[in-house]
Structure 1
Amino acid sequence: MMKRLASAAVSLAACTMLAGCSALPAAGPLGFDINGAATSTVNSTEIDRLPYAVVDITPEALRIIPARSQGSFSGRFTDRRPAPTLTVGIGDTISVSIFEASAGGLFIPAEAGSRSGNFIQLPPQEVDRQGNISIPYAGVLPAAGRTVRQVQNLIEERLRNRAIEPQAVVAITDRRSAQVTILGDVGSSRLTLNPLGERILDVIARAGGTKFAGYEMFVALQRGKERATVTFNQLLSSPEDNVYVLPGDTIYVFRQAPTFLVFGATSQQGQIFFEKENLSMSEALAKIGGLVDTRSDPDAVFLYRFEDRKTAEALGVDTTKLGHSQTVPVVYRTKLRDPANMFVASGFQMRDRDIIYVANSQSVDWLKFISFINSNVSFATNVATVPDIGRRTATTRLVTTGGSITSTP
């Protein structure tokens, strides 16, 4: 009888393994259920797979790999001239005062007598869509694209034969054509540029400054069809990127806290925030509690990243097989069984959206298999030790303790 019970228990375990019994708990459908129920399947081929390169992290590699991948304002916006001279533009509101040397002229009546300040103040007017303004007895004058001094000279020239030694004073009361738009995690607004010229940091400061730590902030500059993005701290550390702002520019300041993903044989998995400006690979591993020593292979610690093509080529990667984009997929590898590589990992700087993966040791799968076999053999053995139920029906009961079945009289 015991042999028959043991045989039945082993058969039950085998059926459970082979059939994937639907009575067992699960978080959802199994993989083969989903694949089998599909009405159409598109399988990838070797050609479809994304090619990548594997590069060991060495002291020489650290000298080649930049600390961070970043854009550049100075590289994208090559106009590095000093602050532009602001001119009258369409939409600006200007005021015009015209002086004459004495009364009895074009604007000052004779009965006014001789007095200081023989002038008139014309009503403020807006430069129209054609870029013109209108002055009595001078007609329509083109003002857009001219400096204030040039507009004054033009008015005086038009009135020279009509007024008594005319002199004009022109002032821009509302400079709409010289505004920049600043948006995002600052005091968003439209700001009028200072005629002396302003750089990006000047404009951000006027808008109220940033609201978060500098290493979490990014600044995007849109000028016409050109756009570039840099970190806020880069503007502070690289003066050449703190370019002059031009009328019509749009500045977008936004927060994007740097993070990395971690998977595999580590104490913690998921999305992890840097929480500081510079984070090394060893610090990143420490933030997640390190490797699980019962599962991990310290010689199989990988970091996935899209690296700049020129950097990959400098590392010796044949990028001709990795597509034609400016970035190429690279998997960096370090072997932490070597004590020296702890120092190397401390010098390898993490970047936003890096992925760390720690592979299992090759022995883990074998141990999983042995554990599975042992659990089923133990189940069969425990069942086999139950006395003949037919002979002790009234005095024997089965007790389950810790996953094992024992008999109690």
Structure 2
Amino acid sequence: MPSGLHFLVAAKQSEIAHLEQLAQTSALVSASAQLVHSLQRERGLSNLFLASGDDQWATALEKQTEDSVRSEARLRICLAEMVEADEPVLHRPRVLNRIALALQGLDALPFLRQDVSRKGLKPAGATVAFIRLVDALLSMVFEAADASAEPDISNCLVAMFNLMQGKELAGQERAAGAALFASGKADRNQQEHLIHLIESQERNFTVFLNFADEAVLNVWARSASLAVMPQELQRLRKALLESADGGPLSTDCSQRWFDACTDRIEAMKLVEDALASELKILCEKRIQISKNELARFELVAKAPLASPAAQEQAARHFFAQTSASTATLPANRISSDPEAGASAGGTELEKSILDMVRDQARQLQTMNEELEAARASLNERKVIERAKGLLMAHRRLTEDEAHKTMRQMAMNQNRRLIDVANAVLAMADVLPTPAPSR
């Protein structure tokens, strides 16, 4: 009959398999992050090219497109290697669905580029298309963060997702602002959209700062363009946001705006790279620790059985244990020599097994407690997105309008945005079914 130790070993093996899956996911996250960064810059240059009315941005756009193509190739190679190796991460349906959606978007990307090169799109149309593709790539990172059961790795993934999401919103701000300056005319709808982008990215950066570790936070703090908003960018933001609707904007500011936003986004990329490195190190370190623990468990499992008297004494020891006696088992408690365990007496062996079981249970409890904050952050995003979707469906609102409505409700009621979102969802059952759009 299998013993408790048998299942303890199986639990540790399962834990290692999960960690190795997270390590594989981290490679996919890093490749996705690099492609997202390239596409964000391509989107900004596409907007400048489309909005400027001339071909002054054509060369820069062509060069950036080549960089995006190389980044895409690296992501596809990463996925191909994972398929060939039959990596466990590819056995998760939600991840597979996200990958399928992202690849569908990448397959359509050459046609989008053709439309841009022929100037067959307006800047807003190109922006929406790029956003849809980037969102598909970011969703893979979100799924990775949502699946992790390791607190340190989960925190790192939550920090990574929110940094990437905030950086994406900063990229959208760059593209929208560049198009406004290039058009030479202020637009009230676009100004409100910029306000939404600025507020949303700041929320993402707040979550990132709460979950990132000290080393990554130091990279953020050392950046002059991240710790404090650069004055040049502040002045250009003010010009965009405070101009009267339809009022003139200096087209000469397009390049200054694009460069100022790009400097800030490039600084975010350095932090993103630091997070990717930290994620890889955390996975490798945690895998090694778990493998060492598994070796200890397997060593005890091979030790000789204790005498019946010792087994009875150890069994009674289970009920005699107090919370004060459940300190972490020292690493030297179990000898590397099985015979040493036998000579030390069956009672010590059984106590060691009991202590290991309790250590493992205590570790799992601690992990669950530490994961609550990360899960809460991810769940808040899910709830807010669902509430926005409900408002969009029932009130025929755009995403920006739905978010603005919820934000205004939160301000009027002096409540948190997540509380307003929960209240909106609570009304879902009594709202009429939306009429089909015509």
Structure 2 length-normalised TM? 0.22
Larger Rg: 1
- Of Structure 1 and Structure 2, the greater helix share is in 2
TM-score by length of 1: 0.23
Query: Larger strand proportion, structure 1 or 2?
Result: 1
